[in-house]
Structure 1
Amino acid sequence: MASVLEYTGVTKKYENKTALKNVNLSVPSGAIVGLLGPNGSGKTTLLKLASGLLHPTSGKVTVCGLPVSPESKALVAYQPDCVYLNDWMNVEQLVKMMQDFYSNFNREKALDMLSRLKISLKDKLKAMSKGTKEKVRLILTMSREVPLYILDEPIGGVDPAARDYILNTILTNTPAGSTVLISTHLISDIESILNEIIFLKDGEIIRQGNAEKTRDATGKTIDELFREEFRC
């Protein structure tokens, strides 16, 4: 299977901490991939390197064969784990902003998803519930047409109904051949949609592979394996 994202000997150090340690990783095209690990394991650092928000201390990261650069950034739709949108903006302004920033943003796709959720273009972000805000963020991200979507904790802190909508949106709105790389520690909620898994612990990859083959080989669910591996 072709690779959409490659890490070769990647180490990332901060002043007093090594977040990633000599990571070698190949993320396949056309898959939904779970980047799984406890808080502080290096997941967000790994994702930010792919999106171009951070640069490795050593090693190389490539997206679709391109080194991380302005050209590669156009191929990645990144949703961070924090709300980055201005609360005073309404949905129409947010859609317009995305359209202005990204030539690959599909306005019609975004409007269709918003309409199905009965979210008005006049609704302001600051007046929305946390779950609705997360839905709007996901709609904006998934309305870009790119080979790689990166979602950092997209279901953290929202109710089960919102989680179901988010997971369904990922499943039904990912273009054929594109990859979704999802960081989470809520394994049981997301396991059913994963094709591939990556376990990250203390900045190192300790398990990677096909989700179904891993379950068959171990006789355990991914959630059970995760709990076993990361038991305190």
Structure 2
Amino acid sequence: MEHIIKKALCISLLFFSLAVRAESDVDSFTQFKISSLQLVSSFSSFIYFEGDKRNQLRLQQAKIKGDQALAQLMIPHSELTLKWQQISDYLDSSQGYQFDVNLEAGWSILQGELSQIINVYEAALVSDERASMQSNSDAKNISRLQVKMETILSRYMAFANSTLGGYGISSKGTPLEQQIQTVSAEMKELAALDIKYKPLANKWGYIDKTLLAYNSNVAPFVVMHTFEKMRKIIAAY
């Protein structure tokens, strides 16, 4: 009987360890996804403003954060690591490129490939029962909200930057307008639940109409500047 109990305890500890690893990977992967989206929008902004120092710094910061989050994955993914390295190499080599449609096209292909790999990796994490330990803590909810925010920014900047009037904006999936409206509603709910989220909601409210006007009157400088402020607010939570 004692042997059976010990064996059961060992199995329980093993599953607990696997669950903790899975949850840790969910957290690290979420941060990597946020960083990769920030990298996408920063590169679009880098092209739009033709390589100014502000956007070079944004690129570097997003790249460093992505490197750190990728290194923290307890269950590594070789294809994801390889594609991230290819993107890093492209960023390094593009510093001297002419800012034209060829640069956009090359970047669009790479970010599309990265997005596909991320979707596959994310689906595996979500479907893994071991990841079911993830809680609905404030930090996790804010991270999920930030993923939605950064997704919107990456799509907005791809449209704003495109010389082809929307190059890089996929017609598949949830329409950009709906994504913006969803985040706006969630921001209002957050602010109503806790006053500490009101500054974040106010910043979002400052640009939500600008985001919705992506198809007629883009304002990349205002949007990127406001997002930088929102990122600092989120980092302070």
Do both proteins adopt the same fold according to a TM-score greater than 0.5, normalized to the shorter chain? no
- Bigger relative contact order (CA 8 A; separation at least 6): 1
More strand by share: 1
| Rg larger in structure | 2
Which TM-score band (shorter chain)?
under 0.3
